[in-house]
Amino acid sequence: MNSTYRLYILPVLVALLLLIALYLDLLPRSNTVQSDTRLAMGTLVTISVWGVPQVKAEQAMQKAFMHIARLEEVLAWQRPSSEVRKINQDSRGTWLPVSEELAKLVELGLRVTELSHGAFSVGLQPLTALWGFSSDQPRSEPPPPAMIAAWLAAYPALQAVQLRKNHDGAYQIKLQNDSVGLDLGAVGKGYAIDQAIAVLQQEGVMNAIINAGGDLRVIGSKGAQPWRIGLQNPREPEHIVSQSLLRGNVAMMTSGDYERYFIFEGKRYHHILDPVTGYPAQSGLSSVSVQGQNASLINGLSTALFVLGAKEGMPLLAAVPGSEALLIDLDGQRVQSKGFVVDWLQQ
Ligand code: AMP
Ligand code: MG
């Protein structure tokens, strides 16, 4: 090959390959994040992906949103046709068939119940319905104390929800009595995020974030940049107090007394309930964020830690490898485990 020929063939080849790649939309759109936001799970969910061609990104995000919508149809006790609703309408004290998908989530919830010695429970639906925080017409004052006392007297604590797998591989569930009903509100969002991330990965997306109203999981990065996450100030939720620069495979879920609440006679009543008292948890905290790999599990963990408070709650982290927590108390003081990724902003 003469040298003039060699000089030209390389740039021509490169240009040709570029053209083919462009035509087939094979080129990564580097440095651009593609996002889609939709209303799901009672909040705005934003999926952002990085490093894939536009067509592929749109397809993957669409599939992920469809998966979330399908899961909501299984998990939300408020939905008339959901599996959870059907189980809640069925009889108590007997074994009922349950889908593997729902069983897996209940199993995870029962693990958090065990870890937290009952501070967390997936069986609280009658109590959460009584308080009405997720109803269309939320309360503005607490329910009558006699109703809470009646629920408390009947609630079978650690025996509330039982799950078993038969020899044929099918799952069955038992709700002990009428004071028990399934409410997966504290783990469902994390579960949906985990599953939607898996959908994105199956579609070839390696860099993404799914953020459901501040509860989120990231994979990969934004090119050279990490994903940047803000944490709300519990007493001024429109402002953020910190940012976390996350990359790799990390989820961060937050439970706060500012998310759903009302003030009655000067006292704040919020949606995270203590199964031991029947009232909103009063552990001295206003916000609990947990970071870890598995959004479903740390979703449950954040609720459990909120109910238990700093002293009893922090030791739970040892049982979930890779989990880290940041607690903000009612005076705005912070307690955090060593590995929690956070940069505080100037106040
Ligand atoms: P989160 O915002 O993740 O802390 O979840 C709160 C939701 O979980 C509430 O809206 C209830 O549906 C449900 N919930 C409230 N208290 C508890 C509890 N102690 N254990 C399990 N789920 C709870
Ligand atoms: Mg939770």
Residues 282-337 pLDDT 10s: 999 999 999 999 999 999 999 999 999 999 999 999 999 999 999 999 999 999 99
Q: Is the pLDDT of residue 30 over 80?
A: no
Mean pLDDT of 97-120: 97
Q: Is the pLDDT of residue 241 over 60?
A: yes
Mean pLDDT of 126-137: 94
Mean pLDDT of 228-255: 96
Mean pLDDT of 3-23: 64
| C-beta of 214 in contact with ligand 1 (< 6 A) | no
Whole-angstrom distance, CA of residue 209 vs CA of residue 245: 12
Q: Is the pLDDT of residue 96 over 90?
A: yes
The whole-number pLDDT of residue 135 equals 87
Class (C level, CATH) for 34-77+185-344: alpha beta
Q: Is the pLDDT of residue 10 over 80?
A: no
The whole-number pLDDT of residue 7 equals 63
Q: Is the pLDDT of residue 66 over 90?
A: yes
Q: What is the mean pLDDT of the chain?
A: 93
Q: Is the pLDDT of residue 68 over 70?
A: yes
Q: Is the pLDDT of residue 15 over 90?
A: no
Q: Is the pLDDT of residue 31 over 90?
A: no
Q: Is the pLDDT of residue 222 over 80?
A: yes
Q: Is the pLDDT of residue 45 over 90?
A: yes
| C-beta of 255 in contact with ligand 1 (< 6 A) | yes
Q: Is the pLDDT of residue 46 over 90?
A: yes
CA of 227 to the centre of ligand 1 (A): 27
Mean pLDDT of 79-99: 96
CA of 246 to the centre of ligand 1 (A): 26
Q: Is the pLDDT of residue 6 over 90?
A: no
| C-beta of 227 in contact with ligand 1 (< 6 A) | no
Mean pLDDT of 41-53: 96
The domain limits of the chain are 34-77+185-344, 89-175
The whole-number pLDDT of residue 2 equals 56
- The 3-state secondary structure of the chain reads CCHHHHHHHHHHHHHHHHHHHHHCCCCCCCCCEEEEEEEECCEEEEEEEECCCHHHHHHHHHHHHHHHHHHHHHHCCCCCCCHHHHHHHCCCCCCEEECHHHHHHHHHHHHHHHHCCCCCCCCEHHHHHHHCCCCCCCCCCCCCHHHHHHHHHHCCHHHCEEEEECCCCCEEEEECCCCCECCCCCCHHHHHHHHHHHHHHHCCCCCEEEEECCEEEEECCECCECEEEEEEECCEEEEEEEEEEECCCEEEEEEECCCCEEEECCEEEECCECCCCCCECCCCEEEEEEEECCHHHHHHHHHHHHHHHHHHHHHHHHHCCCCEEEEEECCCCEEECCCCCCEECCC
The pick from 79, 114, 273, 301 for probing ligand 1's pocket by mutation, whose C-beta has the most ligand atoms within 8 angstroms, reads 273
- CATH code of the domain occupying 89-175: 1.10.3980.10
pLDDT band for position 78 (cuts 50, 70, 90) = confident
| C-beta of 328 in contact with ligand 1 (< 6 A) | no
Whole-angstrom distance, CA of residue 124 vs CA of residue 113: 12
Q: Is the pLDDT of residue 190 over 70?
A: yes
The whole-number pLDDT of residue 26 equals 58
pLDDT cut 70: percent of the chain above it: 91
Q: Which CA distances in Å does 242 have to 53, 173, 252, 334, 347? A: 32, 42, 13, 11, 10
- 196, 191, 239, 190: which is closest to 216 by C-alpha? 190
Question: How many Cα atoms sit within 13 Å of 122 on the Cβ side?
Answer: 33
**Count of CB atoms within 10 A of residue 137's CB?**
6
Q: Is the pLDDT of residue 27 over 80?
A: no
The whole-number pLDDT of residue 183 equals 97
